[in-house]
Amino acid sequence: MIRRGLGWAALAAVALALPWVIYPVLATDIVTWGLFAAAFDILLGYTGLLSFGQAAYFGGGAYTAALLAQRAGVPFPLNALGGALLAGLMAIPLMGLAIRRRGIYFAMITLAFAEMVFYVVNEWRSLTGGENGVQGIPRLAPGGLSLASPLVYYYAALPLGVLGLLLCWRIVRSPFGHVLLAIRENEVRTEMLGYPVRRYKLLAAVLSCTLSGFAGGLWVMNHGFVALDAVHWSTSGLVLTMVLLGGIGTRLGPLAGAALVLYLRDFLSTWTDAWGVVTGVIFIIVVLVFRRGIVGTLEPLLVRRPQAQAETRTQAALSPQGGGPVP
Amino acid sequence: MIRWTALLCAALLVLGVPASRPAAGQGAVRLMHGKMVIAVINDQSGVYADISGKNGVEAVKMAVEDFQKKYEAGGAGGMVDVLSADHQNKPDVGASKAAEFYDRDNADLVIDVPTSSVGIAIAHVAAQKRRLFFAVGAATTALSNEDCNKYTFHYGYDTYMLANGTAIAVVKQGGSQWYIVYPNYAFGQDMNAKFSAAVAHAGGKVLLSDPTPFPNPTEDFSTFLIKARSLRPRLQILGAMQAGQDLVNLVKQYNEYGLRQQGVNLAIGLLFLSDINSLTPAALQGTVFTTAWYWNMDKDARAWADRFYARTKVRPTFPDAADYDGAWQYLEAVRRAGTDDPDKVVAQLEGYRFNDFFARHGQIRKQDHVLLHDAYLAQVKAPADVKEPWDYVKIVSTIPAAQAFQPLSEVHCSMAP
Amino acid sequence: METILIQLFNGLINGAFYALLSLGLAVIFGMLHVVNFMHGALYMLGAFGAFLLGTTLGVSFWWALVVSPLAVAAVGYLVERTLLRRLYNLDVLYNLLLTFGLTLLVQDVMRLRFGIQGVPYPAPPQLQGAVVIGFMFFPAYRLFVLGFSVVICLGTWWLIERTRVGMIIRASTENPMLTRALGVDVDRWIPPVFAFGVALAGLAGVLAAPMRAVSPLMGADLIITTFAIVVIGGMGSILGSVVTGFVVGALSALVAVYYPAAANLLVFVIMAIVLLLRPAGLFGTAEGA
């Protein structure tokens, strides 16, 4: 118990000190992408649904927050909440349709919807600015406070990001989350037990997308602009990468994955032009050697609680499949 | 060869020496942080890597070395560091790198930055941080219009310059009936608007204009080439606004469909030396385009290009030259101002007139911070006329600085009256 | 009307590339349950293979058409033996990520070696110029591409539907457990099948070299669309992927005529509709959805 408390205190210290170690904009990116990844993991790690279209919700939230601030003068963090709201509303019909399918089919439907969102954003130029994006978004704060400094913004966004993360953790540890785990492990059995599986899946998806939209809102205010690449499929791929590298279905995995990917991207941009080689090799090594991701590999070594071990066992990768048809 | 090595050594020596001296402030120039920092941000690994990329960074380093050599250490008041970052064509990476360079490395100037979305984002960062930004690689006129600001300078070219030069010249030569194909993203849409206006202004007619897919997974343009065929015999000019790999594909397929032999000539919105090199002059023979500079256009340009070649083993594109020139003119402005205080440097740059190997009749317009200078109408040579590697182009005519860029009456920048 | 016919026919040529690529993906997915994200990069390697054979050894297009796909197949075989096979009993995600990493690596290595703008590759002299068929005008090379890929697709179909090897592949795809129980060594067939699927991508790359820019990023955007085609056709369905490839090519061309901006979107709209109405794809069997 004490060790656990120490762990959390250390984490809090890291979070508070981070923008003094790395550039605050990067630090804020880690928080916002960490939240996005954690929200994504509600679906991937705890419900067994691989969405390949999360860019639509993250980007949708980002564009909404940007436009609310720029056109309607909505202050931070209300505009980010607006982004969350829009992402959640988008998710109700889109995810409602997508969750009728499973496995790779679910992934492809979500991708298809995300591509449609990409198309709309690119074509609706009067609103979104097309490929140039929404630029020069004012960082308005309530009560005349100034958020202009990246450092100040980090400390403004951090509690909101942490709140989001806590919410993600609360969701997956609640009775609701346990049903999601049951769905991941055996959907048919869960249905037999009398749980309305689809309704559970939809709620999980809507929650995940809402939080993704919120992350998008926090992210866009960090940069002051949003461009088309936020809704491109590579953004969906990036968040998937973060979760895989960090550790699927682990509490801190998404955050660690986000930190690793973003730090690497930032570091490589000034260090080499061969970032593709470095990133590619890291992916290959992680997949072959540290399959459970950073946290998934480290956690069993660090935490020697019996409970923790049981936990990691269920979380160990997604269920192996004997080469039968894809679930 | 020996001469260049010697020059290089000399330059390096000069660069190294000030560090061991009792630092800045010796000359007339006083620096805010003891040294100057110029940061080059561009695409070094993606689709635009061959346009400036690593060579653009090299050009800026060369400018700094030449400057140090010319004025000894006194000119710049101390060391000048050149930093660089690969924005990987990700706008958020580019913009946050720029902010980091300004905040943490005390960068005085960020330069280059191809891709409009990244360029505009950095312009806003520059305004917020009150530091200078020279946009070289980005073509959008938004940088000197709706997104203009006191600290951003558009240095080299823009979509207006490209469209105006080419469209008017081609229409004058009798190519009045156009079909424009443009990639469906900001640059392409902007080019389409600018070309359509310029063609109409010159008395020509755009019969049709089509966006081509973005992104373009099939890399195929045959649909549009067949459309072009069906617009004959009226159609005279196929206006291609693509860039990078899209352009290479389009030109390759334009030749495949034999449109030139059918009397449909090609006009290209934006063509870099690296594009011609990769497509070969045979594929582009006779193509007319506007360029901000050409390495073999005269003796001064050639002399600089030779020195550049000695370092990089390639001939410079015009953004390479503009990167060098932008860095040079910035350092000159610092020297004139006697400080790197951004506001004072801006005051020195505004309205400044100069002539150098890159910019002829150069003038930095006060109202929108566009570098006005002569632009050139160029034509790709026939393969038989290419006498020297990389010398693919002949300059047809000069577009005077006063006509090459957006007239002040059309500028809607907040700094313009 | 004429224009529509010409555009439809022309769309089939793009469809030929879709068909070859999705055919390879479908065969691989059917047998290995691997979403080969590398497929686009292997297509690029096929094109560069032709270029390198031509410039260093003076090999003609026709020989390149044979040798380059074989070389790509060898690369694929090596990747399968050394890397992919370690991940077969895990979720498809892991091989997806692995092949994604390989893609980044291969693309970047090629960029460092050849630059981003790419290299020129001419059409074979026998096929330069254009052919006029009735009211239709076509570059001779494109007609060859169409004909040749139809032959390859038919050949593959024959191989899989009519030969003993094909029977084993079909059986292992549909029910690996049962096939094993019947005494067939399913695993033995995995490497050659992967190499074959990958060779088809290499072949598409050689065919593309004279018409498209041979550059490290060619094919980078292709994988998503191609995979969508496989899904529409029905995962693992040979016929489905080929037919869908040609149909999507032709339809995209039509959309591009009237509303170019949406040409890209078409395949995703079709995929969403198909998956919602007929989850197993147009030609797939109902199970697994």
What pLDDT, in 10s, does the model give residues B315-362? 999 999 999 999 999 999 999 999 999 999 999 999 999 999 999 999
What whole-number distance in Å separates Cα of residue B17 and Cα of residue B31? 17
Whether pLDDT at A321 is above 80: no
Q: Tokens representing C10? A: 């022309």
- Is the pLDDT higher at A317 or at C29? C29
Distances (CA, A) of B385 to A182, B314, B381: 74, 20, 6
Omega cis (within 30) before B342: no
* Nearest 10 degrees: Cα torsion A134, A135, A136, A140: 20
CB contact under 8 A, C260 and B223: yes
Distance from C-alpha of B276 to C-alpha of B266, rounded to nearest angstrom: 14
SS3 (DSSP) at B179: strand
- The 3-class SS string of C92-127 reads HHHHHHHHHHHHHHHHHHHHHHHCCCCECCCCCHHH
Cα–Cα distance for residue pair B210/B10, rounded to 1 Å: 54
In this prediction, residue B22 carries a pLDDT of 38
Of the pLDDT bands very low, low, confident and very high (cuts 50, 70, 90), residue A305 is low
Is C135 in the B-facing interface, judged by CB distances under 8 Å?
Answer: no
Burial C14-42 (b: 16+ CB within 10 A, else e): bbbbbbbbbbbbbbbbbbbbbbbbbbbbb
Type of residue found at B230 = S
What helix, strand, coil percent values describe chain B, rounded to 5? 45, 20, 40
Q: Note the pLDDT tens digit of each residue in A16-68.
A: 999 999 999 999 999 999 999 999 999 999 999 999 999 999 999 999 999 99
User: Do the strands B353-354 and B288-291 form a parallel or antiparallel pair, or are they unpaired?
Assistant: unpaired
Detail the DSSP E strand segments found in B213-278: 237-240, 265-268
Q: What is the H or E stretch that residue C177 is in?
A: helix C176-181
Q: Coil, helix or strand for B180?
A: strand
Hunting for tokens 């400036």 — which residue is that?
Answer: B52
| Sequence-ordered list of residues with C-beta below 8 angstroms from that of B96, at least 6 positions apart, any chain | A23, A25, A26, A29, A223, A266
Supply C12's token pair. Answer: 């089939």
* B23 pLDDT higher than 60: no
pLDDT of residue A310: 41
Tell me the CA distances in angstroms from A267 to A261, A275, B42, B45, C258, one per residue in order: 10, 9, 15, 15, 46
Using alpha carbons, list the distances in angstroms from residue C206 to C38, C52, C115.
16, 11, 19
How far is it, in rounded angstroms, from Cα A43 to Cα A236?
A: 13
Q: Which segments of B120-185 are extended strands (E)?
A: 132-135, 152-154, 177-183
* Cα–Cα distance measured from residue B94 to residue B82, given in angstroms and rounded to the nearest whole number: 17
pLDDT per residue over B97-107, tens digit each? 999 999 999 99
β-strand pairing of B177-183 with B109-112: unpaired
Q: How far is C277 from chain B (nearest CA, A)?
A: 26
Q: What token pair was written down for A18?
A: 């981070």
- Which pLDDT belongs to residue B74? 64
- Cβ-contact C203, C20 below 8 angstroms: yes
pLDDT at A92: 97
Q: B28 to chain A, minimum CA–CA distance in Å?
A: 33
Q: Which chains touch C (3 or more CB pairs under 8 A)?
A: A, B
Mapped onto helix, strand or coil, the DSSP state of residue A241 is: helix
CA B295 to each of CA B61, B318, B357: distance values in angstroms, whole numbers, following the listed order: 18, 8, 10
Q: Tell me the percentage of chain C whose pLDDT exceeds 70.
A: 98
Going by pLDDT thresholds of 50, 70 and 90, the confidence category of residue B59 is very high
Distance from the B142 Cα atom to the nearest Cα atom in chain A, whole angstroms: 10
pLDDT at C284: 79
pLDDT at A315 over 70: no
Using an 8 Å CB-CB cutoff, list chain B residues near C213: 219, 245, 248-249, 252, 278
Q: C-chain residues within 8 Å CB-CB of B229?
A: 137
Of C117, C129, C249, the CB nearest to B275: C117
Q: Is B9 exposed, middle or buried (0-12, 13-18, 19+ CB in 10 A)?
A: exposed
Rounded Cα distance, C160 and C149, in Å:
16
pLDDT at A322 over 60: no
Measured between CA atoms, the residue of chain A closest to residue C268 is A112
Q: Residue C185: its pLDDT value, please?
A: 85
Q: pLDDT for A187-197, tens place per residue?
A: 999 999 999 99
Rounded average pLDDT over A225-244: 94
How confident is the model over B297-313, as pLDDT tens digits? 999 999 999 999 999 99
Q: Which residue of C has its CA nearest to A245?
A: C97
State the residue for tokens 């099948």.
C193
- Rounded distance between C-alpha atoms, residue C141 and residue C128, angstroms: 6
Q: H or E segment at B86?
A: strand B80-86
What is the pLDDT averaged over residues A126-137?
93
The pLDDT of residue B73 is 61
Confidence of residue B18 (pLDDT cuts 50, 70, 90): very low
Residue A323's pLDDT band, with cuts at 50, 70 and 90, is very low
Pull the structure tokens for residue A131.
Answer: 């490929």
For residue B233, say if its preceding peptide bond is cis, omega within 30 degrees of 0: yes
Phi, psi torsion values for C136, nearest 5 degrees: -100, 140
Paired residues of C37 in beta bridges: none
pLDDT higher at C244 or A271: C244
Which pLDDT score is estimated for C177?
82
Separation in Å, CA of B42 to nearest CA in chain A: 10
Number of Cβ atoms within 10 Å of the Cβ of B410: 12
Strand B205-212 and strand B177-183: pairing? parallel
Ramachandran area for residue B88 (φ above 0: left; ψ -120 to 50: alpha; else beta): left
Residues in C closer than 8 angstroms to A291, CB to CB, are 90, 94
pTM of the full predicted structure? 0.91
Q: Is the pLDDT of residue B17 over 60?
A: no
Angle C248-C253-C259 from CA coordinates, rounded to 5° = 115
DSSP state of A320: P
Q: Tokens 């118990």 map to which residue?
A: A1
Nearest to B227 among C17, C123, C257 (CB): C257
Q: Is some CB atom of chain B closer than 8 A to the CB atom of C55?
A: no
CA–CA dist C235, C230 (Å, integer): 6
What lies within 8 Å, CB to CB, of A311 at 6+ separation is none
- How many helices and strands in chain B, by DSSP H and E? 14, 15
Closest CA of chain A from B185, distance in Å: 5
Residue of B nearest to C110 (CA): B45
Predicted confidence (pLDDT) per residue in B200-248, tens digit: 999 999 999 999 998 888 889 999 999 998 898 899 999 999 998 899 9
Quick: pLDDT tens for C231-251. 999 887 888 999 999 999 999
**Residue-by-residue pLDDT tens, chain C, 289 positions:** 778 888 898 899 999 999 999 999 998 988 888 889 999 999 999 999 999 999 999 999 999 999 999 999 999 999 999 999 998 888 888 888 899 999 999 999 999 999 888 888 989 999 988 888 777 778 999 999 999 999 999 999 999 889 988 888 888 877 778 888 888 888 888 999 999 999 999 999 999 999 998 999 998 889 999 999 999 998 878 889 999 999 999 999 999 999 988 988 999 999 999 999 988 889 877 554 3
Put simply, the answer to whether A223 touches B96 (Cβ < 8 Å) is: yes
Which residue does chain C place closest to B253, by CA atoms?
C211
| Spatial CA neighbour of B169 closest among B29, B416, B376, B382 | B376
A144: left (phi over 0), alpha (psi -120 to 50) or beta: left
CB A257 within 8 A of CB A293: yes
Rounded mean pLDDT of B67-86?
Answer: 85
Which structure tokens are listed for A228?
Answer: 């088309």
Torsion of CA A99, A102, A103, A107, to 10 degrees: -30
| B59 contact partners, CB below 8 Å, separation of at least 6 | B52, B308, B316, B320, B321, B323, B324, B327
Residue A222 pLDDT level (bands cut at 50, 70, 90): very high
Chain B residues whose CB is inside 8 A of the C20 CB are none
Q: pLDDT value at position A311?
A: 44
Q: Is A270 within 8 Å of B83 (Cβ atoms)?
A: yes
ipTM value, please give it: 0.91
Query: 3-class SS at C133?
Result: strand
Q: Classify residue A316 as left (phi > 0), alpha (psi -120 to 50) or beta.
A: beta
Q: What is the pLDDT of residues B111-125, one digit of tens each?
A: 999 989 999 999 999
Of C66, C201, C65, the C-alpha closest to C121 is C65
Bridge partners (DSSP) listed for residue B362? B354
A64, A83 Cβ separation under 8 angstroms = yes
Q: Confirm or reject contact between C47 and chain B (CB < 8 A).
A: no
Nearest CA among B381, B380, B382, B362 for reference residue B372: B362
Q: B275 to chain C: nearest residue by CA?
A: C117
C-alpha dihedral, B113 to B116 to B121 to B123, nearest 10°: 70
CA–centroid distance for A164 within its chain: 10
Interface test with B, best of A262, A273, A278 (most B CBs within 10 A): A273
Chain A residues with CB-CB distance to C94 below 8 A: 244, 287, 291, 317
Are the beta carbons of B247 and B275 closer than 8 angstroms?
yes
- CA distance linking residue A133 with residue A232, whole number of Å: 13
